[in-house]
Amino acid sequence: MSKNRLAWLAFVPVFSSSSLVFALTSIEAGETLSIDQTTAQDNYRARDGGVLNANDANTYEVLITTGSQLNAVGGTYAGRSGNAGISLINASANVSDAIVTGTRMGMSIARATGTTTGSTAVITGSRITGQTAGIETGGGTDIQLTDTHLTGTGANSFGLNSFGAEVRAKGGSITGGMSGIRLRPDGEGIGSGANVTLDNVEVRGVAGAAILATGGVTAQINVLNFTRLLAGNGVLLDVQGASTATMTVADSMLEGNINVTDNSLANLSFNHGHMVGDVIVDGSSTAGVTLENHSQLTGRLDQVDSVNVNSNSNWTLTGNDSIGALGMNGGTVTFGAQDAPGTYYTLNVGSLSGNGTFAMKGDFASGEHDFLNVIGASAGDFALAVAASGLDAASPQALTLVRTGTLDGANFALAGDQRVDVGTWSYSLASREIEGGAKEWFLDPTTEVISPGARSVLALFNTAPTVWYGELSSLRSRMGELRFNGGQAGGWIRTYGNKYNVADGSGVGYQQTQQGLSLGADARLGESQVLVGVLAGTSESDLDLNRGTSGTVKSYYVGPYLTWLDSDTGYYFDGVLKFNRFRNESKVNLSDGSRTKGDYDNWGVGGSAEFGRHIKLANDYFVEPFAQLSAVQIQGKHYTLDNDMDADGDRMRSLLGKAGATVGRNFGFGNGAVAQPYVRAAIAHEFASNNEVKVNNNVFNNDLSGSRAEFGAGVAVALSEKWQVHVDLDYAKGEHIEQPYGVNLGWRYSF
Q: Which long-range contacts (CB under 8 A, 24 or more apart) does 669-672 make?
A: 671/720, 672/718, 672/720, 672/721
Cα separation values, 433 from 50, 160, 439, 488, 514, Å: 81, 58, 5, 81, 52
C-alpha–C-alpha distance, residues 203 and 668, integer Å: 92
pLDDT at residue 483, rounded to an integer: 61
Q: How far apart are the first and last CA of the chain?
A: 116
What are the 10-residue block averages of pLDDT along the chain, 751 residues in total?
34 37 83 96 96 97 97 97 95 98 96 92 98 96 98 98 97 98 92 92 98 97 98 98 98 98 98 98 97 98 97 97 98 86 90 96 80 96 89 76 91 88 88 88 87 84 87 64 67 92 74 93 87 93 81 94 87 92 90 85 94 92 94 91 87 92 88 88 90 86 87 89 88 91 90 78
pLDDT at residue 339, rounded to an integer: 67
Instruction: State which amino acid sits at residue 284.
Output: S
Q: How many of the other CB atoms lie within 10 Å of CB of 161?
A: 27
Q: How many of the other CB atoms lie within 10 Å of CB of 458?
A: 26
C-alpha–C-alpha distance, residues 157 and 666, integer Å: 104
pLDDT at residue 484, rounded to an integer: 61
- 3-state SS class at 489: coil
Q: How many of the other CB atoms lie within 10 Å of CB of 312?
A: 16
CB-based contact 470:476 (threshold 8 Å): no
